[in-house]
Amino acid sequence: MQSCPQETLQLCSRCQEFYGSPQNHSLCSKCYQDFLKEKIAKSVETICFKKTTATLFSSSSIPSVSTNALPLPGNETNPLPIVKNRCKSCNKKIALTGFGCKCGGSFCGMHRYPEAHACKFNYKTAARLVLMKENPVCKGDKLMDRA
């Protein structure tokens, strides 16, 4: 039987509580996971910084003095998102219980019916169009002797 050469075990270089391995940069498993998360976060920050600086320097209207400026929310380049968690009629917060309408708005329980929120959607013409698509006109030949 041959004896395997024993590796010298070293404590983690960060926490000094558990043993680290050379594959993990002399870090224990927990510290190595934290190290990877930090590395990913730094790479994402640099990518975001490169994108924002590229968009800043690409437009000629921005002076070269504002190298650290970031685009402001609400600009033409970054419009604010439309918030759909409020009733379009009374501006009440509706969260998960909102009711959608065919006119495109979200409404609370009190204004969910078309009569309650003065809906501009024309239900009659929409229903007529659906009926015309589903039920085409069937006309038979009036003269049976044609052949």
pLDDT band at 124 (very low <50, low <70, confident <90, very high): very high
Across the strands, what pairs with 32? none
pLDDT band at 55 (very low <50, low <70, confident <90, very high): low
Q: Give the C-alpha distances (Å, rounded to integers) separating 109 from 49, 87, 88.
A: 44, 9, 12
- Per-residue pLDDT tens for 66-93? 444 444 444 455 555 555 688 988 988 9
Q: What is the rounded average pLDDT of the residues 35-53?
A: 75
pLDDT for res 53: 57
Long-range contacts of 41-46 (CB under 8 A, 24+ apart): none
pTM for this model (two decimals):
0.35
Q: What is the rounded average pLDDT of the residues 22-44?
A: 84
pLDDT for res 6: 56
Q: What is the rounded average pLDDT of the residues 21-48?
A: 82
pLDDT band at 134 (very low <50, low <70, confident <90, very high): very high
Q: Give the C-alpha distances (Å, rounded to integers) separating 139 from 84, 136, 147.
A: 48, 10, 17
pLDDT for res 127: 93
